[in-house]
Amino acid sequence: MKDVVDLHTKAMDLAEQAFVSKLHSDFIGFSKLSLEAFQFEKAAADLLINSTDEPNRSVLHRSAASLAIDCKEWREAERLITRALSGEPPVEIAEELRDLLQVVYFDRHLELKGIKLDNTELQFSLAGKAVSHGTVQSRFVIDRLKSTETLFLRTIERKQNRPFREKGKAEKNLTDHVNLYLSVPRAASFAVTLRLGEPTNQLFLPGLNYKENVIDEVITCFDLFNKSEDEQLKERIKDPSYYTNFVALAKSIAPDGENIDLVGLTALSGSEIRTVKLTRRTKSIALFNPLHISIQEENKFIVVKGRLEYADSRKNKAPTIKLNDEEHKKAYTIQVPDGMMSDIVKPLWEEAVEIEGHLVGKNKIKMSDIRKIEA
């Protein structure tokens, strides 16, 4: 057992050094140290191959598989995970191992496999029960692609320091640059290349070389969002309306954990391929609510269901909607946080929805979240 502990300790020391290298953008050092860490951890796992010492056996195999993923040693990761599952791992660890196996398969799909991207393109991938060999049920991809297109547009507006546009259409010279073009879907998981439109008769937007900045900015924000690094994301998206808007759109793209398990983005940043494996589940994401909530109101959390009716987003007035709660036969006026009316609430018009918020009057709610009720 001492040999196992010694090998594991060396592996963790090297993994920590690899993490520091990655923080300093030393990707060559990261790859080298990660490979060394993996080799030591695999050697430790090999010593327990026939052991019944649980959870040590399965935990060590899980750790070695994670390091294999860092090294893009997909086949080794697959072997280690299946070997761990062939034993008697605790239920929680077995679930983590199955999730890790999904990541292994999805990481393979994130690779470009002969697809060449430029700085105006990214690969968008989906995996889960709703996905078969290169196909996916349309309702799980169309809304996500629409949200992605909107998110790009909002990113350009934010990077140009424009005030958040609560209503109305974006300027044509902006929308021309954000029309997404889709490639033919590719097999394995569902994967397409998205390309930002670039009108031939226009130069880059003033003050923003979107070829170099916009996709990279979106990937960076998604990475922070996926890691739940909310304070860093707020620091990057300082305007509360833009921040709320980004989180709400990202939530609509995120996997539901039932039909879609993983959403992947692969893009070119300079000469480096960047990937984000979006695994943060929709149900675990709480929308940031910029509306002031008093201590008394905090204790009046409420969930209502019904069909969206009526909207008022007049200037100098907080945007509101009305919802008839069909179960309780009650009509509510709902105050919508800045950044949500146009892109999040409006597309749900006349749909059956579930709204979370705080009761601030007899029939008035300050909304914190909204979701469509699937038929």
Q: Are strands 330-335 and 262-269 parallel, antiparallel or unpaired?
A: unpaired
Ranges 15-24, 147-156, 186-195: which has the least confidence: 186-195
* pLDDT attached to residue 12: 92
Query: Higher confidence at residue 327 or residue 270?
Result: 327
Q: How confident is the model over 194-200, as a mean pLDDT?
A: 63
Exposed / middle / buried, residue 172 (Cβ in 10 Å: 0-12, 13-18, 19+): exposed
Mean pLDDT of 357-373: 85
Euclidean distance between CA atoms 251 and 247, whole angstroms: 6
Q: Is the dihedral of CA 351, 355, 361, 366 positive or negative?
A: negative
CA dist 121 → 186, 196, 310 (Å): 15, 6, 38
Residue 188, phi then psi, degrees to nearest 5 = 75, -120
Whose tokens are 């496999």? That residue is 113
CATH 2.40.50.140 domain span(s) along the chain: 295-372
Tell me which CATH homologous superfamily contains domain 295-372. Answer: Nucleic acid-binding proteins (2.40.50.140)
- Give the mean pLDDT of the chain: 81
For residue 292, pLDDT beyond 70: no
> Which amino acid belongs to residue 105?
Y
Alpha-carbon gap, residue 66 to 216, rounded angstroms = 26
Both tokens assigned to 227: 């890691």
Residue 182 has pLDDT above 90, yes or no: no
**% of residues, the chain, pLDDT over 90:** 23
Q: Is the pLDDT of residue 236 over 90?
A: yes
Question: In the chain, how long is the greatest CA-to-CA distance?
Answer: 70
Q: Is 275 helix (H, G, I), strand (E, B) or coil?
A: strand
pLDDT score of 373: 83
Residue 199: band (very low, low, confident or very high) from pLDDT cuts 50, 70, 90: very low
Of the pLDDT bands very low, low, confident and very high (cuts 50, 70, 90), residue 204 is very low
Residue intervals in the chain for CATH 1.25.40: 2-107
DSSP-based three-state secondary structure for 306: strand
What confidence tens digit (pLDDT) does each residue in 30-85 have?
A: 889 999 999 999 999 999 988 888 989 999 999 999 999 888 888 899 999 999 99
- Residue 268, pLDDT > 80, answer no
Return the pLDDT at 312: 64
Please answer whether residues 10 and 40 qualify as being in contact, where contact means their C-beta atoms are separated by less than 8 angstroms.
yes
Average pLDDT over residues 117-134: 78
More confident of the two residues 274 and 9: 9
Give the residues across from 325 on adjacent strands: 306, 330
Q: What is the fold, at CATH topology level, of the domain defined by 2-107?
A: 1.25.40
Roughly what angle, to the nearest 10 degrees, separates helices 74-85 and 27-47?
A: 30
Higher pLDDT, 290 or 95: 95
pLDDT of residue 2: 66
